[in-house]
Amino acid sequence: DACANVPCRILVIVLCGILILVGFVFFVLGCLFTWAESTVYNYLRIPVDTYLQFAKLSSDPFAKATLLDAVLDYTEPMGQMAFWVGLCIILICGVGLYGAITKNKFWLFLFCSMLLAKILILAVIIVTFHTNPKPVVETFQKMLYESVRGYKGMRSPDKHSLLLNVMMPFFECCGVTGGEDFTGSKNFDKTFVHEDSAFRVEYPFPCCKMSSYERLPSKCPQVFDERSSNVKTGCWPRLEGHILEILTKISYVVIFTTLIEFVVACCAIYASMTIEEPRWSST
């Protein structure tokens, strides 16, 4: 009974408090990666501003908002995951904290039940991801293909064009697997106008090797070859590694917090079994 009344209960209170803070961090990060355009802009300020200035869209707030929204489409799946994991941790550990402070068996039992159910669900998800991450990662590849198919041109204010016009020079790549992916882009305007000249291009101008949207000394975009352009380098091989690395790191953090949750659940179970109900004396 001593363990239930003092050490185990205090351990549950302390660990629940720590987990609530961890859950709050997850919750905030989830909100930022899902809805915070300003956070994305602060991270990508230089390439975004450089492109908008080159495309003469810097005075168009709608173009900037559309571009940032397109970037958030890629961060949203990870943001949503962090958001809901954080919210669940806060709510469940809040129940445990209340039960431990009030020495209430019902709330402790409810806390243990919810926490163990959450641990089981996350364990299945994490094991599935580490066993075969391909289905999860391919979701982002499909989004990239969609952007390539919807690409219109260098100065088009649609989200697919804006995203690729920033992404391709930033990662020094072209298309999903290469420049040939743009042959299926039905809306791609192959007439490129720059300064006082206009000519037809085979691939988008951002596929040229450049620095701050200034072409390096070459014949690109009149001629696309491996020396002057990135048409043989797809964006997906570059993105896939980054996405997989981020998802793997997130899973490790979730595994660590899940182990702490399991310890808390064990302590809470023991506490709920040994806490004595208040006895009412008869007069």
DSSP assignment of 48-107, as one string? Answer: HHHHHHHTT-TT-HHHHHHHHHHHHHHHHHHHHHHHHHHHHHHHHHHHHHHHHHHT-HHH
Q: Give the pLDDT score at 199.
A: 78
Q: Give the pLDDT score at 195.
A: 67
Mean pLDDT of 232-241: 92
Q: Where are the beta strands (DSSP E) in the chain?
A: 191-194, 197-200, 210-211, 214-215
35 Cβ contact partners less than 8 Å away, ≥ 6 residues apart: 72, 79
Contact 229, 220 (CB under 8 A): yes
- Using the predicted structure, report yes or no on whether residue 276 has a pLDDT greater than 90: no
- Residues pairing with 210 in the sheet: 215
Contact 149, 185 (CB under 8 A): yes
Query: What pLDDT band is residue 149 in, cutting at 50, 70 and 90?
Result: very high
Q: Give the pLDDT score at 277.
A: 55
- Using the predicted structure, report yes or no on whether residue 279 has a pLDDT greater than 60: no
* Cα-Cα-Cα-Cα dihedral sign, residues 76, 79, 85, 88: negative
pLDDT digits (tens, 9 = 90+) for 177-213: 999 999 878 889 888 876 667 778 889 989 988 887 7
Q: How far apart are CA 178 and CA 233, in angstroms?
A: 5
Query: pTM score > 0.75 for this model?
Result: yes
Domain regions of the chain by residue span: 2-137+244-274, 153-236
Query: What pLDDT band is residue 4 in, cutting at 50, 70 and 90?
Result: very low
Length of the chain: 283
What average pLDDT does the chain have?
87
pLDDT digits (tens, 9 = 90+) for 101-135: 888 889 999 999 999 999 999 999 999 999 999 99
132 Cβ contact partners less than 8 Å away, ≥ 6 residues apart: none
Q: Is 250 helix (H, G, I), strand (E, B) or coil?
A: helix
Q: Give the pLDDT score at 283.
A: 46
For 204, phi and psi rounded to 5 degrees? -60, 145
Q: Give the pLDDT score at 130.
A: 92
Higher model confidence: residue 270 or residue 91? 91
- Using the predicted structure, report yes or no on whether residue 215 has a pLDDT greater than 60: yes
Q: Could you check whether the bond before residue 221 is cis, i.e. omega within 30 degrees of 0?
A: yes
Mean pLDDT of 146-165: 92
Of 260, 195, 181, 192, the residue nearest 221 (C-alpha):
192
* Residue 217, burial from CB neighbour count under 10 angstroms (0-12, 13-18, 19+): exposed
pLDDT digits (tens, 9 = 90+) for 62-84: 998 999 999 999 889 889 999 99
- Using the predicted structure, report yes or no on whether residue 32 has a pLDDT greater than 70: yes
* Cα-Cα-Cα-Cα dihedral sign, residues 9, 10, 16, 19: negative
